[in-house]
Every structure is written in C-alpha cells, then in structure tokens.
Amino acid sequence: MLAEVISAAARRYGSSPAYVTPTGDQVSYQLLDRVSDELAAGLKARGLGEGDVMALLVPSGPAYTYAYLAAAKIGAITAGVNERLSPEERSACLSACAPRLVITDPALAADCSIPDSEVVEVDLSPPAADLVGELRIKGETFAPIPDDPDRPIAIVFTSGTTGVPKAALFANRQLDAISEIDAARRWGAGGRTLSATSYAHLGYMTKLPQVLRSGGTTFLMERWDAGRALAMVADHRLTTLGGIPTQIALMLRHEAIGASDLTSVVAIVMGGGPATPALVREARERFDAAVLMRYSCTEAGTGVGTSFDDPPEDAETTVGRARGSVELTIRAEDGTVLGAGQTGEVCLRSPASMTCYYRDPEASARAFGADGAVRTGDIGFLDDRSRLHLVGRSKEMYVRGGYNVFPVEVEAVLASHPDVAEVAVAPRDDAVMGEIGVAVVVPRDASRPPSLDSLRSYARSRLASFKLPEDLLVVSEIPRTAAEKTDRRALAALVGEHEDRGPA
C-alpha cells in the first residue's frame, strides 16, 4: 500500500517539494519515488526480501524516508530505532526485532550492541539524493511486488517509560485504516508544516501514506529548538504546527514569541502527552489558531481527538471523542464496560490496532481484551457527551493514605498557577501516609518561584485535600525521555535525591 501511494504521489505532485532539509535541500515527490526504487533494487541485491526486518538507526530525514519506502517496495519490514535513545535502549530495540539488516551511521553503531545482522553504515553528509550511498543501484528501475493488505510493513517501539520498549507490528491494512480514519484517504489539501520528532515514532511510521497523499511540504529540523521553530513559522509561512504539548509550551515560553509573525498558522495539533487547559488556552490565544487534541497509544495506532467544529472547551478539558471506526470504552479491571462518569481503563478497538508485539505472544495477549480492544493502561472516564477525560496512567498512580492519586490530574491544575511554567508531580515514600506527592516545578521567573503554600492554596478549591502536593522541588527543567515526554523514572530519581537532602 505504501509503495503504491508514493508512486501515485510522484505522478500527482512531481517536482513539488515533499521535504525541505535544514540545509535547504528540497526532496521532491518524484525524487522520493525514484531514489526509493534504486534503493529497493540495492536492498534486494543484498538478499533482503519479503518478511525480513530492516532496522533503521539513523537520524530523521531523507535517508530514513528513502529506506522505509524502499523496504515497503520489496515487502520487508522497517523497524525504526530512535537515535536519541540511550545505547542500552537502542540495543534492546535491536534485540527485540532481530533485524536481518541494520542501516546506521558510525557514531550510533559504535556504542550499542547490534545482534547478528548485516550492518551497513551510511554517510549522512552528502546532498539529499545521495544519502543512502552504496546501498543504491543508480538508474535501476524496480517493480513493486503486488499489494497485500496483511503484509507486515512496520515495527514501532513503545516509548519504554515504564520498562523495556516493546515492538508493535503493523501491516499494510492498519496503515490504510489510519489513513481512512484520519483523513478518509483524501488526496491534496496539504499545507506547510514542521517536523522535529523522531521518524521512529508511531505518527511518522503509520501516517506516512496519508502525509504523501496530502501533497504538502514538511520542513525538517535536526533537533527541536523553540526559537528556531518560531523563526521557521515566520520564514516559511507554516500553516500547521504538530507536536507534543512540551514543544508547544517551549515555544510559548520563548523570549521571541512576542515578536514572531505567527499569522500563517491555521491549526495546532497536540498529542503524545497530556496538555493542560492553561496550555491549550494560551496556544489558541497566542497563535490565533484552532487547537486540536489527539490521543492514542502505540498499540492502538489511532484513537480519539477533537475537531475544528468542536467548542473550545473540548480541547481544554478533554481529548475529544472516538474518531471514525474507533470504538472507545472505559472498563473495570474484570473487563466490564463502565458507564458515563465512571473511571476505569481506557480501551480502544479499531482496524488500526497493531497486529501483535513482534515475537512476543505473551505480551501480545496481555495487550488486548477478550474482544480485541487494546488496553491502553491509561485511566479516564467518558462524560455525557462521549468525550474522553484522562486521569492518568495506571502505573503512575500512587496511594496516599488509602486514596488513589493520579499525577496528571494534579499537574493539570497546578500548571495554570501564574508563577508556574511547567510542573510534574511524583510520589515519595512517607512513613505515615505511605506515599505523598512532590510538585516538581519550573518557575516562570527563576528569581521568584512559587511557594508550596501558594500551590496548595491555589489548587485547594479544585482538588481534594489528599491530592495536594506536600513538598516542592524547584528545577530549571523537567526531565524528558527521547520522545520528549516527562521521564517518570528520572523524575522519581530526582525526587529521591531531593528527599535525601531534605525538603526545601
């Protein structure tokens, strides 16, 4: 399916730029198709074929895209490994997917353990069309194999914030379902957007077919930088901003925000992590643009979201409604479906859900309910308008004096405090209560951080007393994972060090 889409996109959009690199090189739709043909021929000549796994351990950019498209044309499976992971995490990903071929660059290959695979190190310095170097057979034409909806095409690793990353397997059928749910497989209507997140993530790996159908232009950043992102919005008249809430928050906090020309932006799409009501309101006001929320998990492929037609409050207080053919339910521990207002585990069932965890049948069985619904591990409830309200992660919950507390719920309230730029909440052991909450805060003004009493007083009218933080740690930044999400394990370690030194 992906092979057919890039060929059709090349015919439709020709020399129009699909990507513009940080150095200004343009990668057209025709170039994507031609180079991936030549690379497909090269991969096939090396013995890579249908059902084989090709691991990509390269920075996001044209080389990644060429290789992913090429593998799809010969029926191979692409496993994207986020280059920003630690060496140990990258090694775990490679071990889980058991690749026949690993494409990487020397720096990334040097400090991680690569299984018994053929390793090809590529030079990423030449112009865009030559990034896959010796792997290409230039001038070679390649006829894609017949489309098979059930042929596996991609392995996407979970973020691993609560353990070793798992390898979620997707076939052509799921990528096609995601295109249908997201945009009804519509051609055209593409705008100008920015990309600075890893291509190994769910969004790129599973949404690439619809991105190609849209015919838009994506401007690439080597690494996320809020000031540079603001400049690119103005310089390239970007129409859409997509990313995790952290990235939007950093743009809003940047000193250049007041002088930046943001008038081209029509929509901001946030997903991949919780967004507080205060952040959504500020983004809408500053950019004078619609803010859309998206919620899913790697295993589900796609899930829930808000739309342009929804009232503003939907994006502020919820993550929206089930999209397209997605079935959204809230379930008790025994699998019973709960009614409106009842809190339980969020479950998503749709044609977009992963096939399984690659080579891990036991974990696969635990990921699904009896009817095939993905158990997300997130806790939430549906209101009387079928909107999903997230409360937190089941594994992040802590218990204070017999009461369950979800950090995300507390963070959503504290984030709107006028002296708070960012906040995360983590538990700490307590001899009396079992666990108590510690607010880890990045202040808006480092010289005037909020006090613990100020935070508690501010939140008291909106949170039960047992949910209020009982200690405060002021930091310059919240620890993040390679996916730019709050790193809960690093946060717990930070709070533990703070406890050892004594509370502030």
**How far is residue 182's CA from residue 302's CA, in Å, rounded to a whole number?**
8
Distances from the Cα of 495 to the Cα of 52, 160, 398, 428, angstroms: 44, 20, 14, 7
Mean pLDDT, range 163-187, rounded to an integer: 93
Q: Which residues, in sequence order, are CB contacts of 107 under 8 Å at separation 6+?
A: none
Q: Which among 217, 144, 150, 146 has a CA at the least distance from the CA of 177?
A: 150
Q: Do 89 and 72 meet the contact criterion of CB atoms below 8 Å apart?
A: no
The CA-based angle 388-393-398, given to 5 degrees, is: 130
**How far is residue 47's CA from residue 391's CA, in Å, rounded to a whole number?**
49
Q: Which domains does the chain possess?
A: 2-189+202-213 (3.40.50.12780), 296-393 (2.30.38.10), 398-501 (3.30.300.30)
Tell the residue number behind the tokens 């979800």, with chain if given.
406
Mean pLDDT, range 454-458, rounded to an integer: 96
Tell the residue number behind the tokens 């996320």, with chain if given.
224
pLDDT at site 451: 96
Could you tell me the pTM of the whole model? 0.83
pLDDT at site 139: 87
Provide the pLDDT confidence category of residue 119 given band limits of 50, 70 and 90: confident
Rg (CA), the chain: 23
Joined tokens for residue 184:
């009804």
Joined tokens for residue 229:
């992102």
pLDDT at site 197: 81
Q: Which among 312, 405, 359 has a CA at the least distance from the CA of 77?
A: 359
Mean pLDDT, range 11-40, rounded to an integer: 95
**How far is residue 53's CA from residue 45's CA, in Å, rounded to a whole number?**
15
% residues pLDDT > 90 (the chain): 67
Query: What would the pLDDT profile of 275-313 be if each residue is shown by its tens digit?
Result: 888 889 999 999 999 999 999 999 999 999 999 999 999
Mean pLDDT, range 79-84, rounded to an integer: 90
Tell the residue number behind the tokens 């607010």, with chain if given.
439
Instruction: Give yes or no for residue 162 having a pLDDT over 60.
Output: no
**How far is residue 254's CA from residue 226's CA, in Å, rounded to a whole number?**
7
Higher pLDDT, 281 or 274: 281
Most confident of 68-77, 88-97, 112-121, 195-204: 68-77
Least confident residue range of 118-122, 205-209, 339-343, 492-496: 118-122
Query: What would the pLDDT profile of 350-374 be if each residue is shown by its tens digit?
Result: 999 999 999 999 999 999 999 999 9
Q: Do 220 and 19 meet the contact criterion of CB atoms below 8 Å apart?
A: yes
Q: Which among 447, 444, 431, 445 has a CA at the least distance from the CA of 499?
A: 431
Q: Which among 58, 60, 69 has a CA at the least distance from the CA of 32?
A: 69
Least confident residue range of 308-312, 316-320, 500-504: 500-504
Q: How close are the terminal C-alpha atoms of the chain, in Å?
A: 57
pLDDT at site 501: 57
DSSP reduced 3-state for 27:
strand
Provide the pLDDT confidence category of residue 504 given band limits of 50, 70 and 90: very low
Instruction: Give yes or no for residue 392 having a pLDDT over 70.
Output: yes
Joined tokens for residue 116:
């018994």
Mean pLDDT, range 199-212, rounded to an integer: 95
**How far is residue 215's CA from residue 9's CA, in Å, rounded to a whole number?**
7
Instruction: Give yes or no for residue 346 having a pLDDT over 70.
Output: yes
**How far is residue 452's CA from residue 275's CA, in Å, rounded to a whole number?**
23
Instruction: Give yes or no for residue 152 having a pLDDT over 70.
Output: yes
Query: What would the pLDDT profile of 420-450 be if each residue is shown by its tens digit?
Result: 999 999 999 887 787 899 999 999 999 999 9
Q: Which residues, in sequence order, are CB contacts of 465 under 8 Å at separation 6+?
A: none
Indicate the pairing of strand 321-322 with strand 26-28: unpaired
pLDDT at site 1: 87
**How far is residue 366's CA from residue 374's CA, in Å, rounded to a whole number?**
9
* Strands of the sheet with 53-57, listed across from one edge: 118-121, 101-104, 53-57, 77-80, 152-157, 167-171, 356-357
pLDDT at site 502: 54
Q: Do 109 and 84 meet the contact criterion of CB atoms below 8 Å apart?
A: no
| Average pLDDT of the residues of the chain | 90
Q: Do 2 and 153 meet the contact criterion of CB atoms below 8 Å apart?
A: yes
Joined tokens for residue 409:
């719920």
**How far is residue 414's CA from residue 472's CA, in Å, rounded to a whole number?**
12
Provide the pLDDT confidence category of residue 92 given band limits of 50, 70 and 90: confident
Provide the pLDDT confidence category of residue 59 given band limits of 50, 70 and 90: confident
The CA-based angle 8-9-14, given to 5 degrees, is: 115
Most confident of 144-148, 337-341, 498-502: 337-341
pLDDT at site 160: 57
